[in-house]
Structure 1
């Protein structure tokens, strides 16, 4: 029993056409017109297969293919639809359409499993709109309350709660729609690696053992704005020069004082008033720290905080540091990883076991059920950019492995 990669490719191309930035990568934020069109396309496919569909108060879609015993907990497969700004067309979407393809094959082959299979489409995974990653899965698993949804806001000041309401959803129902452990026996997610390990090794499959935790630090440095030409260098209180030194130190700290698995990035930066002939008043940037070992993040955070205090004191500017995002490192199910590995061996698929440096919705579901993840290669390790790509022959291998693993897990419960 095999999946049909040409259908997967068609689905990806159709969904990627729902794009707010054509010619400049792919942009599809949650609750946007493009998100609505992508959802409508998927719902059409789900209803066409006779699936039972539920959409919760923040927009997570659950489409259920019934098994012989509808009361048994389901095997959940899927990923997310939203993108970063000017991102790629495979991140998240591949996992969604691969799950759709698995159910298509089961339906065509008239396979009746003992247990239900449930496609999950998560809302707001990327955090690009509201600045909080995996907000949809956090809501689904009880990590986010209604108060949290009202707290997190997009750049226009609209809260996620308000955006969901405006989109036609009912976020007030959130507490009544949580995913219960007795509803699901396993979660499987097929995803692009988003790094260069598999591609460099020419290996089509990665079996994920752990997902890195992350911490986002919002650093604000405030100085005294003044005329760029009339203010002597010795009389300046310039937050930009302090910020530049701090950012260079962050790279050095992560490389030299944390662990080999620790990574640190400054990818978002804002300067105010951001004009060329004025010493800035304020500089704001986000530090993204990640590691599968939480101690690595803690060491980096401690050292970075110390250096920020030292550097800003030397420059006579003020600094504030706020934790604006955090997720725990997660060890995925050894049992499910073993099932994926057994299936790969039986099919003669080359694979490695590896960790994920990126955060995924599956890490939130690991608190509810057993979770397994399958990676396929990202060409040249590129992701979150328009050049993001994965070979369709690797996608075929990944989809077939997802199908076979779903069948094997269902068989274990029969």
Structure 2
């Protein structure tokens, strides 16, 4: 869901609802049955949860929120305006402390799991019920911007602050203020970006119970041959808790001037040909929702006067239709085999790192977000996101929905990404009101 603008969107303020067992009342039931149910429960079964009038005057502290966004951007391994914050790096650890402090200042109880997912909870008056959670990530790929993911975490903390200001009873005179029935929780997910270990959404995958990933992480290393477990330990964590494809070709190296073209087994050309094949298969799918990217292409030995003896590619394929995406992956595999045979090189690896199905937002959460937008007089529309989000994996264990806000020219993963204070504040208001609605079920 996004506030209505013609631009692409950025900064998901994504929302998870763990409210299991919420069901719509079916019309046409016997009046006697309805009365019996009402007498037993003590509540009218047709009424929506009551929200106090104080929630009609939501106030977002935009200056403080922007200051927090700016301050968090200073925890970076590259100079401003870019942001680089890699999983378990020194800057990442400092940024995590910053987030935990903000959660504490908001009066949330803070805990952290074994891989660094951070949880800040505002206990409801029925804390034994499943919580309503919202959150995003703060890790950033090299030379990206300061808004992606960050708005979803800092904005979520501010949404809690907004509701707590309503809870204080200061917003509207003579009113008791808002109090959540279900606990509200802000989650900062570990490593949504796949930068360091090549696997996106590590924290949410593990929360969703990916045993295969947990086993794989015991053997996973980064580009400097540092294992995931060692990196986690160095950052103070005890243990490990889009379809991506890794491809390796092996050929024969040699001097660029000594080996004639007909006699070459060039692993670099095999990689280049497969790169073009990826584009062809994606376009041939016939859908604009199918995308493919060769984001990494490495040649060995990497000298201008040396024929590449090895090549390594990492391919990202995405689609809202799982079967169509899997067909593209199969065609890419067939092309890799054919290219290896034609160029007399060895296809030494074709490995699908992760191959995850799309996830659908839950109707009950969509309706709550739409109602909140309408009550705030904000234009909105339903939309599809083709990016990887932690919500993809949380949807496996809980109803899920996402809120998006506009950004400048649709820029993301680059220093120029930008969302205005007004758009961020509107997103926070929609999030706060949606959390309030869901927390009272």
* Same structural fold, with TM-score higher than 0.5 when normalized by the shorter chain: yes
Once the two structures are TM-superposed, the CA of residue 68 in structure 1 deviates from its matched residue by: 1.4
The residue number in structure 1 matching 2:88 is 31
Query: Offset of 1:162 from its aligned partner?
Result: 2.2
Task: Determine helix, strand or coil for the equivalent of 2:142.
Answer: coil
Q: Work out the CA distance in 2 between the residues paired with 1:404 and 1:23.
A: 34
CA displacement at 1:2 relative to structure 2: 2.6
Tell me which residue corresponds to 1:53.
110
Instruction: State the Cα RMSD in Å.
Output: 1.6
2:288 alignment counterpart? 260
Counterpart for residue 85 of structure 1 = 142
- Distance in 2 between the 1:24 and 1:321 partners? 37
Partner Cα separation in structure 1 for residue 304 and residue 397 of structure 2: 51
Q: How many correspondences in the alignment?
A: 372
- 1:76 and 1:346 map into 2 onto residues whose CA distance is 22
Is it true that 1:270 corresponds to 2:298 in the alignment? Answer: yes
Deviation per residue, 1:348-396 (Å, 9 max, x gap):
2111211111111111111111111011123222211222222222111
Q: Deviations over 1:207-241 (max 9, x none)?
A: xxxxxxx2111111111001101111111111222
1:131 touches 1:152 (CA, 8 Å); kept in 2? no
Q: Which residue of 1 aligns with 2:375?
A: 346
Q: How far apart, in 2, do the equivalents of 1:330 and 1:366 lie?
A: 6
- Whether contact under 8 Å (2:271, 2:297) holds in the other structure is no
Cross-structure match for 1:208: none
Q: Which residue of 2 aligns with 1:5?
A: 62
Q: 2:430 aligns with which of 372, 382, 401?
A: 401
Q: Which residue of 2 aligns with 1:169?
A: 237
Aligned to 2:179: 112
Contact 1:24–1:386 (Cα < 8 Å) also in 2: yes
Residue number in structure 2 paired with 1:121: 188
Check whether the contact 2:134–2:156 (CA below 8 A) recurs between aligned residues: yes
Evaluate the alpha carbon distance shift between residue 343 and residue 106 of structure 1 in structure 2; reply closer, same or farther with a 3 A threshold.
closer
The structure number with the bigger radius of gyration is: 2
Check the 8 A contact 1:146/1:171 in 2, yes or no.
Answer: no
Structure 1 residues without counterparts, runs of 5 or longer: 175-213
Q: Residue in 1 aligned with 2:272? A: 244
Question: Contact 2:253–2:309 (CA<8 Å) still a contact in 1?
Answer: yes
CA distance in 1, matches of 2:252, 2:238: 46
Cα distance in 1, alignment partners of residues 107 and 367 from structure 2: 32
Is 1:8–1:101's contact at 8 Å kept on the other side of the alignment?
A: yes
SS at structure 2 position matched to 1:151: coil
How far did residue 272 of structure 1 move? 0.4
Structure-1 separation of matches of 2:238 and 2:306 = 47
3-state SS, counterpart of residue 85 of structure 1: strand
Match of 2:403 in 1: 374
CA distance in 1, matches of 2:407, 2:219: 35
Return the offset for 1:147: 2.6
Determine the C-alpha separation between the residues in 1 that align with 2:257 and 2:424: 57
**Separation in structure 2 between the aligned mates of residue 334 and residue 315 of structure 1, nearest angstrom:** 51
- Report the more deviating stretch, 142-151 or 34-43: 142-151
SS of residue paired to 1:271: strand
| Gap regions ≥5 residues in structure 2 | 1-57, 169-177
**CA distance in structure 1 between the aligned counterparts of 2:385 and 2:127, rounded to whole angstroms:** 33
> Are 1:321 and 2:350 matched, yes or no?
yes
SS of aligned partner of 2:186:
strand
Alpha-carbon distance in structure 2 between the residues aligned to 1:273 and 1:107: 59
State the Cα distance separating 1:271 from its structure 2 match.
0.5
CA, structure 1 residues 352+293, in 2 after alignment: closer, same or farther (shift >3 Å)? same
Matching residue of 2:125: 68
Q: Distance in 2 between matches of 1:352 and 1:69?
A: 33
1:277-292 equivalences under 5 Å are: 277-292=305-320
What displacement does 1:24 show? 6.7
Which of 223, 227, 246 aligns to 2:251? It is 223
- Give the TM-score normalised by the residue count of structure 2: 0.81
